[in-house]
Structure formats: structure tokens, C-alpha cells
Amino acid sequence: MSSRGGPRSAERKQMVESSSETPTQRVTVYLGLGANLSDPRRQVEQALLQLQTLPGSEVTAVSSLYRTLPVGPADQPDFINAVARIDTQLEPLVLLTALQQIERQHGRIRNGQRWGPRTLDLDILLIGEQVLALPQLCVPHPQMHCRAFVLGPLAEIAPPGLEIPGQGRLDDLLAAVADEAGTMVRLRADDSGRSYFSASARFGASEFDVSENHYHDELACAQAAWRAHRLPDLL
């Protein structure tokens, strides 16, 4: 019977293997998340779930969430910040487009004000050791080396001795912004979470009101991915 259809499974496996002789290279990328409008904590938590759904990508670590003072215009709410690490096959500009789509899903409006308030900001901080200076994308992120709200969470999940290309060692950069780092508040587990992951058990669908939550579909999808995924092991 099986000979009437395509190749048997062993043959199929071999075909798949030979068709992927030149697999797309995976690269480690660090992403910065920030929000200070419309329940910023939830914006960041939901965005972390949505990162799970990026094609050809795997979230491998997430920092704690931090409450941080705004850098830039002071007349805006405090931010919630975090950093995530992903392994991805996506090309840099494809990844940027995918991240901007997530920002739009969070109602991000760009009104031209530099460093102004936002529902969600997703920045590409590092792509391996690459240095990019494209019109749409600069990597490492041009301001990351002098921002405690990036360096602090990054240091939580980065390997020891991480170098920021062109800027130096993460440890040294973080030491240089110790004053700013001292103003950051790391959210605790009970407050719901040392990190987003410790709060993940609360992410039952019942916690979210479908009628007023336009993230529901993405969230349900991400939750399914979450359960099937080994992310909780990262805690």
C-alpha cells in the first residue's frame, strides 16, 4: 500500500535531511522590551509570550522585569523593562519587521517624540557579534551601552564576560551606570514575579477577559506554545 504513495518514512527522512544540507544559521539575539503606557507590565508580559511565536526562533532566556525611571522626557510614567534572549534563523530585517508588528499589535503609536511614552518598545540589542549600520537597523543598539535599564536585565541572562561589540565588557559598562541601576526596582515573585516566568502559572486564560482583550488570540496561541515548550525549565 505504502508504495503507491510517496516514499516510505525512512526515505522521506533521508530526503528531508539531504534537502537541508545548508541549514540556515541560528544566531543568538538579545532583545530589549520596554513599556510605560496602558498597563506596562502586562504589555511586557504579553510581548514575551508573543516572542514565543516568532517563526524559526526559540526564546532561551528572559530576565526579571524591572520598574525603571524614564530616560529622556521626565514627564512620563515609569517604565517596565526586561531583556529576552532568542535563538533565531530570521534575518535581521525580517526580525525587525516581526518585532514592529508585535509593537503595532500593542497599539504602539509613533508620534515623533524621541524617547516619549509608549505601549511597547522592542529593540534589537545584539545579534551575535555582528555590527550593523543599516538605515533601518543599528546593532548593537546605539544607546544600549549607557542604559542601566538595558544593561541590568541583560547582565542577568548574559554569559559571563559578554562583550558589546565596539563598547566593551558588559560588566564594565554596567559599573559605569551604577547610579542609574540603583534606582531600578526588580519586581518580586509575589508582586507577581521575580520574573515573568514565575508569574506564568497565573496566565490561565481565565485571567484574561476575551471581550476586552484583543491579544486573546495571540495569547492563546502563545500559551499553547508555552505549555509545549521547555521555557519553564529556564527558571
Asked whether 65 and 80 are in contact (CB, 8 A), the reply is: yes
Interface with ligand A4P, residue 72, by CB under 6 A: yes
- Is 227 considered catalytic here? no
- What is the pairing mode between strands 185-186 and 66-68? antiparallel
Interface with ligand A4P, residue 143, by CB under 6 A: yes
- Is 217 considered catalytic here? no
Which of 67, 85, 121, 147 does the annotation list as catalytic? 121
Asked whether 134 and 64 are in contact (CB, 8 A), the reply is: no
Among 123, 173, 180, 199, binds Mg ion (CB under 5 A): 123
Interface characters, 134-173, with Mg ion (x: CB under 5 A) = ----------------------------------------
Residues 6+ apart with CB under 8 A from 26: 87, 88, 89
- Is 108 considered catalytic here? yes
Give, for 170, the enclosing helix (H) or strand (E): helix 170-176
Cα(216)–Cα(210) distance, rounded to whole angstroms?
6
- Is 78 considered catalytic here? no
Which of these segments, 37-45, 120-128, 181-189, 200-208, binds Mg ion (CB under 5 A)? 120-128
Minimal distance, residue 130 CB to ligand A4P, in Å: 11
Interface with ligand A4P, residue 68, by CB under 6 A: yes
Residue environment code for 10-27, b if the CB has 16+ CB neighbours within 10 A, otherwise e: eeeeeeeeeeeeeeeeeb
Binding site for ligand A4P (CB under 6 A): 34, 68-72, 79, 81, 110, 114-115, 121, 123-124, 136-139, 141, 143, 149
